[in-house]
Amino acid sequence: MSASRRLIGILLVMSITLAVGGCWDRRELQDRNFVMAVAIDVAEAGQKPGQGKQEAKTETFVQPHGDKRYRVSLQILKLAKTGGDEPKGGGGTTYVLSNTGQSLFEIVRDTLGQSSKSLYFEHIQAIVISEAAVRELGIKSIIDFFLRDAEMRWRIKVYITPGEARPIIAYAPPNKEAGGIYLANIARNHPKNIHVAGARTDLGNISVLLDNKADLIIPRMEMTGNVIKIRGAALFKKDKFAGYIDEQAVAGIKMIRATEKSAIITLPGDEDSEVVAFELFRHDTQLAPHVDGDNIYFTLDITMWGNVGEYQVLDRASKADDPAFIRRVEQKAAEEVKRIVLYGKDSCQSLGVDVIYFSRKLKAHHPKTWEKVKDDWDTIYPTIPLVVSVNVVINQLGEHK
């Protein structure tokens, strides 16, 4: 046979093998069940309304190793068949499947027994973990599955909730969004809401922090009745749950970490029952470590520029463009910021959790000192002082003076 014929023959054989093999991964888009959110509880957490003990038993499976530790609930999207022509049914666009076990991967795969299509995690938006689940054994064992699987995204939002997690993902938001998207997008408002710690708290950052053996801060989500809100945060020491802090502490931490983009700082006005709101637009924050012999202390220099957002003044002939008034407001705002910052720092130090970057800055700028003190860090950290100096500049007063 001539050389070119042989060549063609070989190439044909190779191409036939490709066609015969088939396409392994072709799975149509509508044949996948989109998982939008995951909730993790302890296995003995409360039941679904209207669900008896028998149903809980059917949900779960016979497990070879370990005990029933976690309950994993998956929020799955319902595809509206009519393409949105008719109004969607009143039950919302998602439904929840649950299962209990220990290995999350095993639980998820077993949940396929309840699902008609394969579960598809690539669009997952949020993970809600209940405090009870995390208190026993820490967070690392829960999220390990999410870190290893290739389908997960780096930017899944993680929340801690003091109550039960499953009702949160069973909640149908009133604007008919899919629940997971709604939960994740709440945290996306964090640049404007200084009470929500949203910067660098998603799954990827948690993984990075855990690898570096640093401490974590995770936003806290609460649900009561029909109201869901993110307020405050949960602090973790390495991967053990340490405690909650409230919104003001979160504000202070954000200011130290310089992750706020816009914030409202309320100050008392000149008289009682008057309130001035200062709206921050731009800030310049420097956190610097200083080592003085054996003393370690940090300095925080903040310069803030912003507007007067609201001036609730009683019926007086006082206007906001009085320069003396403006100066008073600036000073009061500076003091208020200082107070908030110190409050945040104290909350962290009292729990012994370093989420305010002290160890990180020390490691970066004074590595030799870090080598000396890193073994005693747990004892040294709560005593480190922070010297705060704040400067506030008011640029504008808004449309109405």
Partner 1 sequence: MTVSIMANLEVKDKMSVLQFGVVMAAIMLGAQFIGLPTQLVPQAGQLAWVSVILGGGLFFCATWVMLKLAALYPNSDPIEYLPRLLGKWLGVGAICVLVLLFLGVTWVTQNQFSRVLVFFMFDRTPTDVIIMSMLAVVAYCALQDLGTIVRVAQFTFFVSVAMIGAIWSVAIFNFQPENLLPFWTNKPIGVLQATLNTWGTYGGYEIVLLLFPVISQKRNNLVKVVGIGFIFITLISVIIVVVTVGVLTVETIKNESYPTLVVVRSVELPGTFIERLENYFLIAWIPLIFNSQALFVYMLAQIMSRLWGFADHRPWVLALVPLIYTGATLVDGLELMVLAGKVLTLLGLVFSLGIIPLVYLYAKWKNQGVTAGER
Partner 2 sequence: MDKTKKNKPKLTIAKLSAIMPADELDKVKTRLTSLRQLIQNSAELGEDLSGIVADLRAVPAPSGEMFVFTPQLSQNVILLETVFRDCSDVKFRFFKTGGRQALLVSLDGMTDATALELNILKPLMTVTTVNSDLKKMMEEKLTVAALNIEVNANSAIEAVMSGNALVMIDGMPEMLAIDATKHVKRSVSTPVLEESLRGPQDAFNETLADNIVLLRRRSKDPNIKIRILDVGERSKTAIALIYLANLVKPGLMEEVERRLNSISTDSVFVSKTVEEAIVEHPWTPFPQLESTERPEKVMAAIYEGRVGILVDNTPASVIIPCTYASIMQAVDDYTIPASVACLVRISRHVAAFMAIYLPALYIAIVSYHPGMLPTGLAISIAELRARTPFPSFLEALLMEVLLELFQEAITRLPKKVSSAASMVGAFVIGTTVVQAGLVNPFLVVVIATTAISSYVMPLYSFGLGLRALRVPILLLAATLGLYGVMLGLLIVTVHLCSLKNFGESYLGGMLDIDTLADMKDTVFRVPQKFMKARPIEFGAQDQERAGDS
CB 366 within 8 A of CB 289: yes
Interaction mask 11-40, partner 1, x per CB under 8 A: x--xx-xx--x--xx---------------
Quickly list DSSP for 70-130.
EEEEEEEEPPPTTTTSSPPPTT-SEEEEEEEES-HHHHHHHHGGG-SSEEE-TT--EEEEE
Cα–Cα dist 216/360, whole Å = 13
Cα–Cα dist 79/15, whole Å = 38
Q: Which helix (H) or strand (E) holds 353?
A: none
Cα–Cα dist 265/333, whole Å = 7
Query: In the set 81, 148, 213, 400, which binds partner 2 (CB under 8 A)?
Result: 81
Q: Please report, as residue ranges, which positions from 114 to 133 form the binding site for partner 2 (by CB under 8 A).
A: 120, 122-123, 125
Stretch that binds partner 2, among 52-60, 79-87, 334-342, 352-360 (CB under 8 A): 79-87
Interaction mask 276-315, partner 1, x per CB under 8 A: ----------------------------------------
CB 159 within 8 A of CB 185: no
Nearest distance from C-beta of residue 243 to partner 2, angstroms: 34
Is residue 14 within the footprint of partner 2 (CB under 8 A)?
Answer: no
Q: From the CB of residue 330, how many other CB atoms can be counted at a distance below 10 Å?
A: 19
Q: Which does 170 bind (CB under 5 to 8 A by kind): partner 1, partner 2, none?
A: none
Interaction mask 276-315, partner 2, x per CB under 8 A: ----------------------------------------
Is residue 188 within the footprint of partner 1 (CB under 8 A)?
Answer: yes
SS3 37: strand
Is residue 360 within the footprint of partner 1 (CB under 8 A)?
Answer: yes
Q: Which helix (H) or strand (E) holds 152?
A: none
- Closest to 361 (Cα-Cα) out of 283, 260, 285, 251: 285
Stretch that binds partner 2, among 25-33, 215-223, 235-243, 304-312 (CB under 8 A): 25-33
Q: Which does 365 bind (CB under 5 to 8 A by kind): partner 2, partner 1, none?
A: partner 1
Q: What angle do CA 369, 372, 378 make, to 5 degrees?
A: 100
CB 194 within 8 A of CB 201: no
| First CA to last CA distance, the chain | 95
For residue 49 the two structure tokens come to: 């309304």
Could you tell me which residues are beta bridge partners of residue 70? Answer: 42, 101
SS3 301: strand
Q: Which does 213 bind (CB under 5 to 8 A by kind): partner 1, partner 2, none?
A: partner 1
Beta strand residue intervals within 225-274, DSSP E = 227-237, 240-245, 263-268
Q: Which does 154 bind (CB under 5 to 8 A by kind): partner 1, partner 2, none?
A: partner 1
Nearest distance from C-beta of residue 357 to partner 1, angstroms: 9
**Minimum CB distance to partner 2 smaller for 88 or for 372:** 88
Nearest distance from C-beta of residue 333 to partner 2, angstroms: 40
Is residue 7 within the footprint of partner 1 (CB under 8 A)?
Answer: yes
Q: Please report, as residue ranges, which positions from 189 to 218 form the binding site for partner 1 (by CB under 8 A).
A: 204, 207-208, 211-213
Is residue 244 within the footprint of partner 2 (CB under 8 A)?
Answer: no
Q: Which does 178 bind (CB under 5 to 8 A by kind): partner 2, partner 1, none?
A: partner 2
Site for partner 2, rule CB under 8 A: 18-19, 22-23, 25-30, 32, 34, 77, 79-81, 83-84, 120, 122-123, 125, 151, 178, 181
